Amino acid sequence: MQRFHDICKIYAENISPHSKFRYRELLNRIESNVRQLRQCVATHTDSETKALTDAEQTLRHIMQVIHR
């Protein structure tokens, strides 16, 4: 996920100005997802399902912005 985030940051310059704000907002959400997943792994909590669902949803939103 972190590698995906880093690659997306590079691609941000190619996004249309109209979508760039939303794209950067989604990148920030990915960072949050990465932290959340790391915390779940470190603490062995049951909230990992929610964290994975959130991450999957964020990835879908990023793909939608890219395809526009």
The phi, psi pair for 15, rounded to 5°, reads -80, 145
Number of domains in the chain: 1
- Grade residue 23 by pLDDT with cuts at 50, 70 and 90: confident
The phi, psi pair for 55, rounded to 5°, reads -65, -40
Residue 8 covered by a domain:
no
Q: What mean pLDDT is predicted for residues 30-57?
A: 84
Residue 53 covered by a domain:
yes
Contact 4, 30 (CB under 8 A): yes
- Domain span at residue 50 reads 27-68
Q: What mean pLDDT is predicted for residues 4-31?
A: 83
**Torsion (CA) 67, 19, 14, 55 in degrees, nearest 10:** -60
Indicate if the pLDDT at residue 57 is higher than 90. yes
Q: Enter the pTM of the model.
A: 0.72
State the greatest distance between any 2 C-alpha atoms of the chain, in Å, as a whole number: 41
